[in-house]
A = this chain, B = another copy of it.
């Protein structure tokens, strides 16, 4: 038990690190007044959204907490304390989102300013901002989990029977994290894409204004969206994956308690191992961040890679020793899915951990192949843009669908290998293996939107071209890391969901869920449909919110005379405002600050809050209904169906969207088809913009939300498992 304090310590360490780095960022030069003003617009918008969102969620959290305490009081395998875990999980998730976003909205304009001096300083500011997010997430996650675990173990008293209760109560933490995550992802995703699509369609396409131009009323909302969607949303997503995979592995590990009585930890070694590994991951991640340094003229991508490789190698080495130290050489226990008894080994557990890590990395590379600029699939989409938007869309759909094949085959292989190495515990710990280094992975992920914002601020504050070119370089690296991060997020979600699924079966005391049982197959079909329905809600929400945004931007362009006049000037000069003179310049300057950004921010906020409710509730209510009405077998079928199509649709949507995005970007350099070169502004490029816009809600709203959906439904099932068995 004392070793769990190592996890507590690691959690505190991560939070101290975040605190230290936040201070460092605050001390950086905030730049010109204009930068600060734009930065504060974005920060205000982001905080306004969080405030509005958390207001709704408070009601939700309290309601669920009451339900949980009532049901906990009425089950011999649960306890009202589960409500406490749930609230703390929800608060931790919200706090992680808040901390990450606060620092991101401080780091963005400081990155712009740093880019005035050098690429390296800009990278440092942006990455440090990301690392605060990363380490806040893992710090809060492991600190909350390990402290609660210690408290509950003491409260209930240690025994095998009580471990079911302890872990059920602890799973409330995961439920809290997951529910907040779903709302954050869906709400953030709707917010960012409504603003983005609106800004692009009216601003860029209709009015011909460059991206992020201050004349565009939706431009601040667009930048706020990057924060609430890509920073807070991604953070909440990984927070819950991280927590979910730890809790899932602990639950399955608790089945070993009787067999591990002689392990020197009272049989708990397999239960505490996940927390210890998570603590190791924090130390590896922090050491990794220290190695992210670019020498003058160096490559930011290489610097980020170095950080991840260092953290990865350290994690492998440390976890080998931790596993060998905690677990006995070998032990025998039930297979959990049949009456069979199998032999487990410490080496096997280590191999299973590594399996997850390797598969995660491979899927990241595959994702990069299918979505990377210039790679054959993306080049094919760019080529098919020359025959119009329809063939561009058809090509993108084909690429997205095809891109599911290898990742899913790898996930299937991971399942089989991890099980071969260490049974169901192996599958669970392989998910954890992917997520142990979340600290640095998330730092790299969150670095992307910060750089993206920095670029936007450079444009809006009219910085000289070399500043924008530096932030563009940072942003380009961010796109690649984002693709790999998404691949990782999906793969880990799949394995985490399976870990939670196995944990659910253990807690519900179900050994066999027979596919040929009609209740199971009906559940499977119904479950497989949920991700489609859920996606349609998310996509529809973006469509509706974007229409509102489009109408608002059009209204401002029509009704605000200064904007109208400036747009005429811009049209006269073909969208180029850099060399205006005389009266034109006067008109243009008169328009400054006339766009009503706040109205657009409000539209996105309201739409996101309004539209996130139904899909969020869907994810929670459906497993409850199916579980209580049709029982654990149908619920098991449902989870299998949700997970299978959820993973597939997530990969399909993320990759199709990413591929369309980069196919569009390829036109910046020119796309050659049969000797003819198509440039930016050509019809082929316009067709590619259509694809990019279609991909937006797929890759940034519905796709990533599915990751959370599958885990959330599994966690809900895990929590209610003792009640329906």
Q: Are A525 and B411 in contact (CB under 8 A)?
A: yes
Q: Are B536 and A398 in contact (CB under 8 A)?
A: yes
Q: Are B516 and A408 in contact (CB under 8 A)?
A: no
For A409, give its contact among B519, B526, B647, B689 (CB under 8 Å). Answer: B526
Q: Are B535 and A401 in contact (CB under 8 A)?
A: yes
**Docked CA distance A405–B393 (Å):** 24
* Interface flags, A646-673, vs B, CB<8A=1, else 0: 0110001000000000000000000000
Q: Are B524 and A399 in contact (CB under 8 A)?
A: no
A669-725 CB contacts (< 8 Å) to partner B: 689-690, 693-694, 697-698
Q: Are B415 and A533 in contact (CB under 8 A)?
A: no
For A525, give its contact among B393, B412, B502, B540 (CB under 8 Å). Answer: B412
Listed stretches A76-84, A432-440, A637-645; interface member: A637-645
Q: Are B690 and A401 in contact (CB under 8 A)?
A: no
A496-519 CB contacts (< 8 Å) to partner B: 498, 501-502, 505, 511-519
Residue of B nearest to A689 (CB): B390
CB distance from A302 to the nearest CB of B (A): 33
Q: How many identical subunits does the complex contain?
A: 2
Q: Are A697 and B412 in contact (CB under 8 A)?
A: no
Q: Are B388 and A517 in contact (CB under 8 A)?
A: no
Asked if A444 is an interface residue, CB under 8 A from chain B, the answer is no
Residue of B nearest to A692 (CB): B390
Q: Are A543 and B395 in contact (CB under 8 A)?
A: yes
The residue among A201, A388, A647 with the most chain B CB atoms within 10 A of its own CB is: A388
Q: Are A415 and B694 in contact (CB under 8 A)?
A: no
Q: A389-B389, A525-B647, A526-B412 are in contact. Are A516 and B501 (CB under 8 A)?
A: yes
Residue of B nearest to A527 (CB): B644
Q: Are A514 and B514 in contact (CB under 8 A)?
A: yes
CB distance from A630 to the nearest CB of B (A): 9
**Docked CA distance A384–B539 (Å):** 13
CB distance from A27 to the nearest CB of B (A): 43
Asked if A121 is an interface residue, CB under 8 A from chain B, the answer is no
CB neighbours of A411 from chain B (8 A): 525
Q: A641-B644, A645-B648 are in contact. Are A539 and B394 (CB under 8 A)?
A: yes
Asked if A529 is an interface residue, CB under 8 A from chain B, the answer is yes
Q: A401-B539, A415-B525, A525-B411 are in contact. Are A201 and B515 (CB under 8 A)?
A: no
CB distance from A397 to the nearest CB of B (A): 6
CB distance from A380 to the nearest CB of B (A): 9
CB distance from A683 to the nearest CB of B (A): 11
CB neighbours of A513 from chain B (8 A): 514-516
Residue of B nearest to A498 (CB): B521
Asked if A603 is an interface residue, CB under 8 A from chain B, the answer is no
**Docked CA distance A641–B401 (Å):** 16
Q: Are A401 and B515 in contact (CB under 8 A)?
A: no
Q: Are B409 and A644 in contact (CB under 8 A)?
A: no
Interface size of A by CB at 8 A reads: 84
CB distance from A394 to the nearest CB of B (A): 5
Asked if A550 is an interface residue, CB under 8 A from chain B, the answer is yes
Q: A408-B526, A514-B513, A648-B529 are in contact. Are A388 and B690 (CB under 8 A)?
A: yes
Asked if A419 is an interface residue, CB under 8 A from chain B, the answer is yes
CB neighbours of A391 from chain B (8 A): 197, 201, 543, 546-547, 693
**Docked CA distance A521–B419 (Å):** 11
For A528, give its contact among B336, B519, B645 (CB under 8 Å). Answer: B645
Asked if A387 is an interface residue, CB under 8 A from chain B, the answer is yes
CB distance from A352 to the nearest CB of B (A): 11
**Docked CA distance A539–B647 (Å):** 21
Q: Are B387 and A514 in contact (CB under 8 A)?
A: no
Residue of B nearest to A514 (CB): B512
Q: Are B532 and A401 in contact (CB under 8 A)?
A: yes
Asked if A453 is an interface residue, CB under 8 A from chain B, the answer is no
**Docked CA distance A338–B518 (Å):** 12
Residue of B nearest to A643 (CB): B525
Asked if A323 is an interface residue, CB under 8 A from chain B, the answer is no
CB neighbours of A394 from chain B (8 A): 539, 542-543, 693-694, 697
A103-154 CB contacts (< 8 Å) to partner B: none
Asked if A605 is an interface residue, CB under 8 A from chain B, the answer is no
Q: Are A390 and B427 in contact (CB under 8 A)?
A: no
CB neighbours of A62 from chain B (8 A): none
Q: Are B536 and A402 in contact (CB under 8 A)?
A: yes
CB distance from A415 to the nearest CB of B (A): 5
Q: Are B546 and A201 in contact (CB under 8 A)?
A: no
* Interface flags, A46-80, vs B, CB<8A=1, else 0: 00000000000000000000000000000000000
Q: A391-B543, A498-B521, A648-B645 are in contact. Are A640 and B398 (CB under 8 A)?
A: no
Q: Are A393 and B395 in contact (CB under 8 A)?
A: no
CB neighbours of A516 from chain B (8 A): 336-337, 424, 501-502, 505, 511-513, 636
A336-379 CB contacts (< 8 Å) to partner B: 336-338
**Docked CA distance A711–B318 (Å):** 50
* Interface flags, A183-202, vs B, CB<8A=1, else 0: 00000000000000100010
**Docked CA distance A697–B395 (Å):** 11
Residue of B nearest to A520 (CB): B515
Residue of B nearest to A418 (CB): B518
A527-584 CB contacts (< 8 Å) to partner B: 528-529, 532-533, 535-537, 539-540, 542-543, 546-547, 550
Given contacts A389-B690, A398-B536, 15 further A-B contacts (CB under 8 A): A201-B388, A205-B388, A387-B547, A397-B536, A402-B532, A405-B536, A411-B525, A412-B525, A416-B522, A511-B516, A514-B514, A514-B515, A515-B637, A516-B636, A525-B647
Q: Interface residues, chain A, CB within 8 Å of chain B?
A: 197, 201, 205, 336-338, 384, 387-391, 393-395, 397-402, 404-405, 408-409, 411-413, 415-416, 418-419, 424, 427, 494, 498, 501-502, 505, 511-526, 528-529, 532-533, 535-537, 539-540, 542-543, 546-547, 550, 636-637, 640-641, 644-645, 647-648, 652, 689-690, 693-694, 697-698
Query: What are 10 inter-chain pairs, A to B, with CB distance below 8 A?
Result: A201-B390, A336-B516, A391-B547, A393-B393, A401-B535, A404-B532, A405-B536, A415-B522, A416-B518, A515-B637
Shortest Cβ-Cβ A-B pairs, 5 listed = A390-B693, A401-B536, A402-B536, A419-B518, A412-B522
